[in-house]
Chains A and B, each alone.
Chain A
Amino acid sequence: MMIGVKKIGKPMDIKERSYLFEIARGMMTSIRHFIRNVLNQGAMPTLQYPEEKRVLPERFRGRHRLMQREDGTPRCVACFCCQTACPADCISIEATERDDEGEKVAARFDINILRCVFCGLCVEACPCDAIRMDTGMYELADTNRENLIYDLNTLLRH
């Protein structure tokens, strides 16, 4: 489909072209908000971040974590479903054999959070409820790119 551009708008009249009147009108709006905020400070949307933090909605998607079984081993069975579902290609898994009854387990599980778009598709895809995004962690900045590739242990420790 082609996208067309349609120009709308009429030629400016003398009032608009002189600007002064329009600027005064804009200032009025700012002043109106200023007065309203000063008179009713409790309703102001600004937060004193980082001392003050927003209450997250229940289904907020933050940094991933990997779940553990009751015996402390990772729940993940290295099925690659999350890696397959991920649209940003940020998960990279290497699978190996479990020592006990022939099951599969992740030998390496890296999430490159720099690539992540926080869509939650990996959580959706996991058949074992092994990966969740419910940590509520969103302050993920670092001074080093390597630190932002989380490995199996980091993800298991939350």
Chain B
Amino acid sequence: MAKITINGVEQAVEDGLYLIEAARRCGVDIPHYCYHPGLPVEGNCRMCSVEVEGIPKLQTACTTIVQDGMVVITDSEKVVGERSDVMEFLLRNHPIDCPICDQAGECGLQDYYMEHGLHDSRITVSEKVKKKKRVDLGPNVVLDSERCILCTRCVRFCKDVVGTEELVIKNRSNHAEITTFPGKGLVNPYALNTVDICPVGALTSRKFRFQCRVWYMKNATSICPGCERGCNIWIDHHENKIQRLRPRLNPDVNNYWMCDEGRLDFHWINDDRVLRAEGPDGLMRPDEADRAVLALLSNPGDVLIVASPRSTNESLFALKRFVEVALPGAALTGGSFRPTGDDDGFLRLPDKNPNSRGMREIGIAGDLENRLNGSAGVVLVFENDLLGDRPDLESVLAGKKVVAFTSNRTATARGADLVVPVTTYAELNGSFTNHAGLRQEFRSAIRPPGDSRSVFDVVKSLSGLLGKELGWESETALTKEMTDVITGWGVRVEEETELHAG
């Protein structure tokens, strides 16, 4: 521990911390651009300059390591003046095109100008250096060179976090610009993280660009369902549509990052949803659908229930109880035929289902293939696109009555005799258990469209019709029982509340 004095208050901080981080932990925010807690330090923007007693010149807090007895001042006239001057330099060539800039509303330049700048410009628009406004760095990232403040966060991300080194600064001084190496593009599978960490509007996401102003969006904490890693994310939504996904800090899982594949995979939640239950005679109300399902369950021994490692722990737990209590004799199996990927050594893992481990720990057997080839005549498929992942199963399912509980019009839904809409993870409170056994909770972001119900509500209603009780008043009671009976699931992951970490 080192004792440091910040603005006259003595505090004990960990040894070896950078001053900027030590100050943050003591509740003093030092403005910064180039410093990012997930990247190696560089100290090029000078925004974090502070006074350290005994050193005549101002020191950059992001490169200074705390020492015992250090006396630091972050709010003296000298420091405040320096910040305002740095802001003036940074804005020297800035186009100030906030009205058409996607970053407006969450921009480091806007925020710090209001806090630390507030100077009048001494530069006329015609004196500013003009640069390219739209450069396609790669398939997903667009650069506006005029807005860049050359903090090199993006360069360092590609070099030190992913190791692909696509980006570099070319030219000097007023003409310096971010670019890719000749013949190379920003193609690494994590490229969109550069858009998050760019403190200004220089890097924008090709897909999100111009789609929604940031001040319209509301945020919900969630977990990416893209693979077993279970990266912590923010769901940013507006008018009940998901607009974008962003990584949420969790040092144990994904740190500040997420992969582009997971980030861009949300359009299925907004589009092409099943809104009403559908049977051979057309659309049905939820209660009609439940009775139609019930009609197929008269002989439990003939029923196979297929769970999915894409469902939440809560849904799977409810499903298992449903089979035990209301349909004894029916077979319950789980699994997925989703094509696997590679372990790329950073975040992405081979299993593209978010909850395979949760399904195993709840005790749902993974003998899907054998069971499907068995004799069961009625198959209830919960959130599992069997036919989409394995079209050859069509012949196996052909002779069976298939009920698809699904959020989307999947191949399985198209081939099913009965389709019942259910919610996606974005419309549920629930949890996934990742590959390492960490049960991570998430909150519903948007309202379920149409007649979609959670799996819990569906099986509750079905068991009610069968005259059986699942034994839980609410989902909270279910969660409580589940976390009590499964070892290790009681641990709650602390919620990250900071919206724009770094």
A residues engaging B (CB < 8 A)?
77-81, 84, 95-97, 101-104, 127-128
Total A-B Cβ pairs within 8 A: 31
- Which secondary structure characterizes the binding site on chain B? loop
- By beta carbon, the residue of chain B nearest A97 is B210
Pick the contact of A96 from B210, B215, B216 — CB < 8 Å?
B210
Residues of B within 8 A of A (CB): 99-100, 132-134, 142, 144, 209-211, 213, 215-216
In the complex the two chains form, is A84's CB within 8 Å of B215's CB? Answer: yes
> Which of B100, B132, B142, B215 is the one whose CB lies under 8 Å from A104?
B100
- A99 to chain B minimum Cβ distance, whole angstroms, is 11
Contacts of B133 in A (CB 8 A): 101-103
Q: What 3 A-B pairs are tightest by C-beta distance, nearest first?
A: A102-B134, A79-B99, A102-B133
What are the residues of chain B within 8 A of A79 when measuring CB–CB? 99-100
Given contacts A77-B100, A80-B213, 5 further A-B contacts (CB under 8 A): A84-B215, A97-B134, A102-B132, A103-B100, A127-B99
Given the complex of chains A and B, what is the CA–CA distance between A97 and B211 in angstroms? 10
**Distance (whole angstroms) from the CB of A94 to the closest CB of chain B:** 9
Q: How far is the CA of A79 from the CA of B144 in the complex (A)?
A: 17
25 A-B pairs in the complex with CB atoms less than 8 angstroms apart: A77-B100, A78-B100, A78-B210, A79-B99, A79-B100, A80-B213, A81-B99, A84-B213, A84-B216, A95-B210, A95-B211, A96-B210, A97-B134, A97-B210, A101-B133, A101-B134, A102-B133, A102-B134, A102-B142, A102-B144, A103-B100, A103-B133, A104-B210, A127-B99, A128-B99
Report the minimum CB–CB distance from A43 to chain B (whole Å).
50
What is the minimal beta-carbon distance from A131 to any residue of chain B, in angstroms?
A: 13
Interface centre among B142, B213, B216, by most chain A C-beta atoms within 10 angstroms, is B213
Which chain A residue has the least Cβ–Cβ distance from B135? Answer: A102
Q: How close is A130's CB to chain B, nearest CB, in angstroms?
A: 10
A95 to B132, CA, bound (A): 21
> Which A residues are in CB contact (< 8 Å) with B100?
77-79, 103-104
For B213, the closest partner residue in chain A by CB is: A80
Q: How far is the CA of A104 from the CA of B102 in the complex (A)?
A: 10
Residue on B nearest A107 in the bound complex, by CB? B210
**B107 nearest CB across to chain A (Å):** 14
Q: Closest Cβ of chain B: how far from A110's Cβ, in Å?
A: 15
* B209: A residues at CB distance < 8 A: 97
The docked-state distance in angstroms from the alpha carbon of A134 to that of B438 is 62
Q: Which residue of A lies closest to B133 (CB)?
A: A102
Which chain A residues border B210 with CB–CB below 8 Å?
A: 78, 95-97, 104
Cα distance, A127 to B77, chains bound together (Å)? 35
Closest B residue, CB atoms, query A96 = B210
**Separation in Å of the B140 CB from the closest CB of chain A?**
15
User: What is the CA–CA distance of A77 and B213 in the complex, to the nearest angstrom?
Assistant: 13
A101 to B213, CA, bound (A): 21
State in angstroms the CA–CA spacing of A1 and B144 once bound together: 52
Distance to closest chain A CB from B331 (angstroms):
50
How near does chain A come to B460, taking the closest CB pair, in angstroms?
A: 38
In the assembled complex, the Cα of A84 lies from the Cα of B238 at a distance in Å of 13
- Closest-CB distance, A34 to chain B (whole angstroms): 57
Question: For A128, what are the chain B residues with a Cβ–Cβ distance below 8 Å?
Answer: 99
Interchain CA distance A80-B216 in the complex, whole Å? 10
CB neighbours of B132 from chain A (8 A) = 102
